Amino acid sequence: MAVTLRKSTELFTVAKWLTRRDCRTLSSLPEKAKLASLEVTEKAETSRRRPKKVNPLLENRHAYPEFLPDPNPKWRNSLREKLERADMLKRRNQIDIPEFYVGSILAVTIADPHSQGKTNRFVGICIERKGCGLRAEFTLRNVVDHQGVEVRYDLYDPTIHKIQVLRVEKRLDDKLFYLRDALPEYSTFSFDMDPEILPEGTPVPINPVKVELKPKPWLERWERQELQGISNIEQYLTKKDKVRRELRKTPWEKYDLMKQYRKTIPIEEQTDIWSEVNSQLQQLQLARKKSTRKRTFSAPKTQLG
């Protein structure tokens, strides 16, 4: 109620702020006033407050998101998470699980008892990455003989022989389920695609491609999901769709601090996790770099004259 009653001009608020700069100076308690005066002198020395530096270990969370546990406190247990991480690292020692994101194109070879040569290779674009710990999964999508095919793999499945990243890139969205309703050319990738190796140290490129959707019916209401990667969504929306979209919007959700908190693992816990796991991951990354360098310098191309 105090908020609604008070209507002041800008000058008045500035004047008020200047006079009541530190409410402790007005305190009747002498100790608090003394502290306030000390603080004023300290503040005068440091003009601008610098934000705290972010621990570089935390950058690992983008490349290895499955190492972070499920944030739901009902299922959290530090010992189980530790054992799970140890198992994940053991599997990573056996096979190179590369760094990839949603939107990267991968080729996965698995052991298949029913196919010729006992292995099966599938190439596709990664449309989602879900699950945490040993349950981590990713889905690859491709269009084979005009039929859209999606295959979901467990990241830590011991039957996977090889995960090869043909193109490392990110897209404008976290999940690319809208490719199911997009024109097939956006999901088609040749099985004989050559791996595109980026020079060392380059940041992961973000592909700004905007996909064209097929006319309705769609599998989901893409217009309500705030997706950046669709170009022609507006042309397929009816008046009702647009009205309902406005009504269903929840603009307060992005300010909901506790909702964000409950979905995230806090910095202190993340630092513990990454410091436990980082040295081994760095070793594996070095080994991977060595193998890629060997490949690029392996056979010099001869000119056939």
Partner 1 sequence: MNQAEVSKLVSKLRMNIKPEHRRLKNLKGPEGRIDKLRKTVTGLIKFERIELNINRGDEARQYAERLISEAIRHGDCHKPTMDMANFWLLEKQLVHKLFKVLVPRFENSTVSYTKMIKAPKAQNTEHTNKIVLELRGNPYPDLIVKQPNNRLWIQNVLLDAAKYDYRQSKISEIAANIGKDTQLSSSSLTANNKGGTQKEES
Partner 2 sequence: MFPNSLKLLWGALQKSRFDNAACNIRGASRQPRFRPPYWYVPKERVWTDDYLTKENKQFLEEVIKDKLEAQTALEKKALTSPILNDVKKNVTWTPQTKRVGLIARKIGNYPLWCKDGKKVSTTLLQVVDNHVIKYIPPEEYKPMIKSNVKWVEKQKYGCILVGAENIDPSVVTKDYCGIFDSVGMLPKRHLCRFVVSPESALPNGTPLYATHFRVGDCIDIRSKTMDRGFQGVMKRWGFKGMPASHGVTKTHRRPGNIGSGGEKARVWPGTKMPGHMGNRWRTLRGVKILRIDTKYNVIWTLGVAIPGETGAMCYLFDTVLPLKRNKTAPPFPTQPFMNDVPKEYFEDTIHPFDEPTISYYEEI
Q: Which residues bind partner 1 (CB under 8 A)?
A: 2-3, 6, 13, 16-17, 21-24, 27-29, 32, 39, 43, 48-52, 54, 58, 61-62, 65-66, 68-74, 129-133, 135-136, 250, 252-253, 255-270
Which whole-number Å values give the CA distances from 283 to 4, 85, 89, 232, 265, in the listed order?
Answer: 60, 16, 11, 45, 25
Task: Assess 160 for contact with partner 2 (CB under 8 A).
Answer: yes
For residue 94, the partner it binds in partner 1, partner 2, none, with Cβ less than 5 to 8 A by kind, is: partner 2
The amino acid at residue 156 is Y
Residues 6+ apart with CB under 8 A from 168: 99, 100, 101, 104, 196, 198, 204, 205
Query: Residue 118 or 242: which CB sits closer to partner 2?
Result: 118
* Residue 267 contact among partner 1, partner 2, none, beta carbon within 5 to 8 Å by kind: partner 1
Cα dihedral 267, 273, 274, 277, rounded to 10, equals: 180
CA torsion, points 179, 181, 186, 187, in degrees to nearest 10?
60
Task: Tally the C-alpha atoms within 13 A of residue 67's C-alpha that lie toward its C-beta.
Answer: 28
Give exposure, 206-224, as e/b (b: 16+ Cβ within 10 Å).
Answer: eeeeebebeeeebeeebbe
Binding partner selected for residue 87 from partner 2, partner 1, none, CB under the kind-specific 5 to 8 Å limit: partner 2
159 binds, among partner 1, partner 2, none (CB under 5 to 8 A by kind): partner 2
CB of 61 to partner 1, least distance (A): 4
- CB-nearer residue toward partner 2: 22 or 137: 137
Residues 25, 1, 11: CA angle, nearest 5 degrees? 55
The single residue among 96, 112, 241, 276 that binds partner 2, judged by CB under 8 A, is 112
Residue 300 binds which entry of partner 2, partner 1, none, CB below 5-8 Å type-dependent: none
d(CA 74, CA 7): 47
Using DSSP, how many helices (H) and how many strands (E) does the chain show? 8, 5
CA distances from 239 to 135, 236, 244 (A): 42, 10, 9
173 binds partner 2 (CB under 8 A): no
Nearer to partner 2, 116 or 147 (CB): 116
Give the nearest distance from C-beta 121 to partner 1 in angstroms: 27
Considering the rule CB under 8 A, would residue 152 count as an interface residue with partner 2?
Answer: no
- 21 or 76, CB closer to partner 2? 76
Question: Other CB atoms closer than 10 Å to residue 129's CB: what's the count?
Answer: 18
Q: Kindly state the smallest distance separating residue 296's Cβ from partner 1, in Å.
A: 30
- Chain positions contacting partner 2, by CB under 8 A: 74-77, 79-80, 83-84, 87-88, 90-91, 93-95, 111-113, 118-119, 133-135, 154, 156-161
